[in-house]
Amino acid sequence: AVAQSSEAKESFSVSQYLKDLVLNLNPVIKKTNISVHIDCDGSLSMNSYPGAFAQVFTNLIMNSLTHAFDPGSDGAIIISAAERDLFIVIDYSDNGRGIRKEIQKRIFQSSGLMAYQKLKN
């Protein structure tokens, strides 16, 4: 089982952790026509905080399931991870409808990332 909150830093397999996370979310995912694809080398590991990692990806997946797709529509969520220049780069995407233009400028306000938005502008 994926630990949803853990303050301990530890080494874990990125691929296996994502697969376990998706397995834990399967009761919600299976009620949709959305598939989740994980593209990650099984040997890729990171030394980090698995609870925070799980929380971020749980929120991303749930947000896609809730907001990106019309009820009953088919779709896909793709999570890919790879090591690049001593960093692990994780790409998250879905093929949902996207964010309405009028909301795009406010997306960081509700997530507490207003400072990031100000720096970006």
pLDDT tens sequence across 9-35 = 999 999 999 999 999 999 999 999 999
pLDDT band at 114, cuts 50/70/90? very low
Average pLDDT over residues 40-67: 93
Average pLDDT over residues 79-104: 91
pLDDT at 101 (0 to 100) = 84
Q: Say how many C-beta atoms besides its own lie within 10 A of residue 68's C-beta.
A: 18
pTM above threshold 0.75: yes
Q: Which residues contact 97 (CB under 8 A, 6 or more apart)?
A: 68, 69, 70
pLDDT band at 94, cuts 50/70/90? very high
Average pLDDT over residues 105-110: 70
Environment class of 58 (CB within 10 Å of its CB; exposed 0-12, middle 13-18, buried 19+): middle
Transcribe 18-65 into DSSP letters.
HHHHHHHTHHHHTTSEEEEEEEE-TT-EEEE-HHHHHHHHHHHHHHII
pLDDT at 23 (0 to 100) = 97
Average pLDDT over residues 37-62: 94
Neighbouring C-alpha atoms within 13 Å toward the C-beta of 72:
0
